[in-house]
Chains A and B, each alone.
Chain A
Amino acid sequence: MAQMTMIQAITDGMRSELKNDEKVLVYGEDVGLNGGVFRATDGLQKEFGEERVFDTPLAESAIGGLAHGLSLTGYRSVMELQFFGFVFEAFDSIAGQMARLHHRSGGVYNAPVTIRSPFGGGVKTPEMHADSLEGLMAQTPGLKVVIPSTPYDAKGLLISAIRENDPVVFLEHMKLYRSFREEVPEEDYSIPLGKADIKREGSDITLIAYGAMVHTCLKAAEQLEKEDISAEVIDLRTVSPLDVETIITSVEKTNRAVMVQEAQKQAGIASNVVAEINDRAILSLEAPVGRVTAADTVFPFAAAEDTWLPNEKDVAAKAKEIINF
């Protein structure tokens, strides 16, 4: 065991798979010699060589095309998009091509590609760096979308994503890269995709979140505890496909739920979660499922982040509103 930040755990996950499978390739803008703009690939080129870990020209669409083409020859790609706001350049490569490859070839070809990309607010990045665009990806059949919130989850989920034979969008919240350390096993281990995790047990209300909002919910749960409200916090970990079973089991126990996301109300995946609960557990509900989200505006100018991003006060207030419904 070692104390690792999330970024170290991510590097460790890639190192492990580069070691385990010689068909694994890691590439993107500045991921080679430079070790990535966040040091996620630090030391990997030195350890595995330029044939395995390399830089690309600055063009996201072709990075996706490269991954697609390499799939045809049996390679397993871990491609990086420097910031997920740049995904629009690669949208066809990912959603129009790789997500559909297995289907359009009637099962003959597949794209074992992990698309790693940082996103998330709270660190005052310039435009188009922090946007939460997971909702776009979650709407695409053929893709899986994974968003870890802890170092331990990040490594285990990344190893699973790399081993997956379908394309996986693996989104890394920038605020969580170095915000805390956690015990992470040095050997490889995997966490199944599509499985949520209960980060805190509770009995009065279920708070469902992913990414940085998991920590926001844990803080809110502490506040609620002081008011004798016991909140259960579910970290979805995979936002597509959803772990419906874990969500429903929890809601059937607590009878109340709030879905929390950093994305705007019209974006993200909160409405999917609410719909699944309504479909499957309406008779258990004592109140409507609440939602905490950002406002339906463009991601804010850096200096407006603090007022725009959802925080623990918003979550606690919504939880109380649902409890007092």
Chain B
Amino acid sequence: MEKTKELQQVEEKFQTFQILDEQGKIVNEDAMPELSDEQLKEMMTRMVYTRIWDQRAISLNRQGRLGFYAPVAGQEASMIGSQFALDKKDWILPGYRDIPQIYYHGLPLHQAFLWSRGHFQGGQIPEGVRVMMPQIIIGAQITQTAGTAMGLKKDGEQQVAVTYTGDGGASQGDFYEGMNFAGAYNLPAVFIVQNNRFAISVPVEKQSAAATIAQKAVAAGIHGEQVDGMDILAVYAATKEARDRGIEGNGPSLLEFMTYRYGPHTMAGDDPTRYRTSEEDDEWEKKDPLVRFRKFLEEKNLWTEEEEEKIVEQAKEDIKASIKDADAAPKQKVTDLIDITYADAMPETLQEQRSEFEEKESK
């Protein structure tokens, strides 16, 4: 397909924003966000913690001690950096892979594990933690985010609603509708696309002829930006700016984070060697967000091997304890499931069924 001049001009407007290169060197000093040494270290701590969590989750899944799990290794900068730019009172509407963000927003780890296993207590978000449980229907979280952002705006809160989807998700109707609604109402929303190049086995090139996903913002008339998703400083800076744009009344933003998952799509039998080459994997491993940020911090004398070891140990201990907490959750009964179906009084026909199951459960 030969590209028209108009198309080339559009594509040129969506260059990848980067602050830290693969060697951990600052390549865009002007864009450097203001972060204290402590904050920088905290970001690295969270990335290391999440990498270990991912490794343990894969292993626990293989042992049958976790259920549904969508690996996150490779996407730490994209996930951690964007959540780090938020305020605790911002809302997060995650997709099914976006567990780290809602964990750092306040969802206890053992509940994340219960969600993975398929237990209703995993979805019982603690009071005051402004997150939704992970969304399985790809795109649904995008239109819902427009609604949540509208609520925040109506309440006069200086907060945003943030949502995540993948590169495949950008093909859904709800993706366009959600961004378009947020634009039409000038809402404080941030739409994040984590482009890890594959939707299960389908490469992003097969999703769309568009050179970037960021440029899809043009269809909604909102700000769009492509960001190096393996660079936590760029992810943080872009998210913070999008957040500011929202709360200052300048509307929603679409951020495309260029990232990669080192693992399979999910642990449900996906085998990435069927659709990815080892050359591609090697190339992206050189971009590892942990490696470059570690180099950056070491250069500033902010990071040591001992510190990292301590975090690794801490993560392993926490996971062990949280799995134990998850194990302690009571087995679900049909009566429990009946009780949570309606917010108001349950229909009489359901009350009858409840009595039947109660009787069965008492035996």
CA distance A142 to B350 in the complex (A): 11
Q: Mark A264-293, 1 if CB is under 8 A from B, else 0.
A: 000000000000000000000000000000
A96 adjacent to B120 (CB under 8 Å): no
How large, as a class, is the contact surface on chain B?
35 or more
Q: Mark A75-103, 1 if CB is under 8 A from B, else 0.
A: 10000000000000000110011000011
Task: Given A66-B150, A102-B341, verify A241-B349 contact (CB < 8 Å).
Answer: yes
Q: Which chain A positions have C-beta within 8 A of B123?
A: 104-106, 108
Please tell me which one of the listed residues A65, A73, A241 contacts residue B347 in the complex, with CB atoms under 8 A apart. A241
Q: How far is the CB of B246 from chain A (nearest CB, A)?
A: 14
CA distance A69 to B154 in the complex (A): 13
Q: Does A70 interact with chain B (Cβ within 8 Å)? A: yes
Q: Mark B158-190, 1 if CB is under 8 A from A, else 0.
A: 000100000000000110011011001000000
B147 adjacent to A72 (CB under 8 Å): yes
B348 adjacent to A68 (CB under 8 Å): no
A245 adjacent to B348 (CB under 8 Å): yes
Task: Given A69-B161, A105-B123, A106-B120, verify A62-B137 contact (CB < 8 Å).
Answer: no
Task: Given A70-B148, A103-B340, verify A244-B349 contact (CB < 8 Å).
Answer: yes
The segment from B55-63, B138-146, B264-272 that touches chain A is B138-146
Q: Mark B330-344, 1 if CB is under 8 A from A, else 0.
A: 000000010111111
B180 adjacent to A65 (CB under 8 Å): no
B341 adjacent to A64 (CB under 8 Å): no
Q: From residue 98 to 147 of chain A, which have CB atoms closer than 8 A to chain B? A: 102-110, 112, 141-142, 144
CA distance A106 to B127 in the complex (A): 13
B181 adjacent to A66 (CB under 8 Å): yes
Q: Which chain B positions have C-beta within 8 A of A108?
A: 123-125
A241 adjacent to B348 (CB under 8 Å): yes
Q: Of B124, B133, B177, which is in contact with the most chain A CB atoms at under 10 Å from its CB?
A: B177
Q: Which chain A positions have C-beta within 8 A of B121?
A: 106
Task: Given A56-B181, A73-B148, verify A65-B343 contact (CB < 8 Å).
Answer: no
B143 adjacent to A64 (CB under 8 Å): yes
A103 adjacent to B142 (CB under 8 Å): no
Taking Cβ atoms with an 8 Å cutoff, the residues of A that contact B are 51, 56-57, 59, 61-62, 64-75, 92-93, 96-97, 102-110, 112, 141-142, 144, 164-166, 194, 240-242, 244-245
Between A and B, 11 residue pairs with Cβ closer than 8 Å are A62-B146, A65-B147, A69-B143, A74-B151, A103-B120, A104-B133, A107-B340, A165-B343, A166-B342, A240-B347, A244-B348
Known contacts A65-B147, A69-B143, A96-B137; 9 further A-B pairs (Cβ under 8 A): A62-B174, A64-B143, A69-B144, A70-B147, A103-B340, A108-B125, A166-B343, A240-B347, A245-B348
